[in-house]
Amino acid sequence: MTGEPRPGGRRLAPLLAAALLLGALIVAACGASTVAPSASTSATASGSPRGSGPAQPQPSPTRWPGGVVEAVVILGKADLDIQAAGADLGAAAAYQDLQAMWGAADGLANLVAKLQTQVPRIATYPETSAAAEAYDAAFPDMLAGSRTLADAIKAGDAAAIQAGSKQLATGLGAYAKARRLIGPLFDQAILMQRIIEQ
């Protein structure tokens, strides 16, 4: 398959060492980000947060603009995809599977690039602006790190793999704050979406 990494034998050992470092960094970063409940996993099929007891999040007294609601829902649902990509990268690194690492890094880069287009939609609305700031603090490192990582794996560049891994881990660590903020916003957006559809 074109575009897939095919490192030479002499370069394999440093690449695998870099893969192990990547695994450790991803596990640490994703471990930090799972402290906050996921927007996607904190809601049941009915849109209510799990284990939240009688207190349920309510829509804002002022209905959000439709574009804000849509963007929050997209960002909230994408949280599971980001977690899955991080898990795939960590697993591929643990198994020292460079091809799988390349695929996961490339997929994450494409996902984050698409999600970045949603952030400006929530940046100027007062109730969601803090979440936009958190995404802006995380997404650039996540995107640049995953792209560097994918390119480095294809090139067989162990030093660049390490650099991309560290930058990606930094972005994933910062993403923890975005997850904490998007969770309750996601619940409100789902309720507002139902009101709009009624």
pLDDT at 44 over 60: no
Estimate the share of the chain in helix, then strand, then coil, as percent rounded to the nearest 5: 75, 0, 25
| Structure token digits, residue 57 | 């999040």
Coil, strand or helix at 45: coil
61-98 confidence digits (pLDDT tens): 578 998 999 999 999 999 989 888 888 887 887 777 88
Coil, strand or helix at 17: helix
| Structure token digits, residue 7 | 């490192």
* Domain spans, the chain: 11-39+65-197
Coil, strand or helix at 43: strand
161-187 confidence digits (pLDDT tens): 888 888 988 898 899 899 999 999 999
pLDDT band at 17 (very low <50, low <70, confident <90, very high): low
104-159 confidence digits (pLDDT tens): 999 999 999 999 999 999 999 999 999 999 999 999 999 999 999 999 988 988 88
For the entire predicted model, the pTM comes to 0.77
**C-alpha pair distances (Å), 100 with each of 91, 95, 97, 153, 159:** 9, 9, 5, 10, 19
> CB under 8 Å to 2, separation ≥6 — which residues?
none
Q: Which residue carries 């947060």 as its tokens?
A: 49
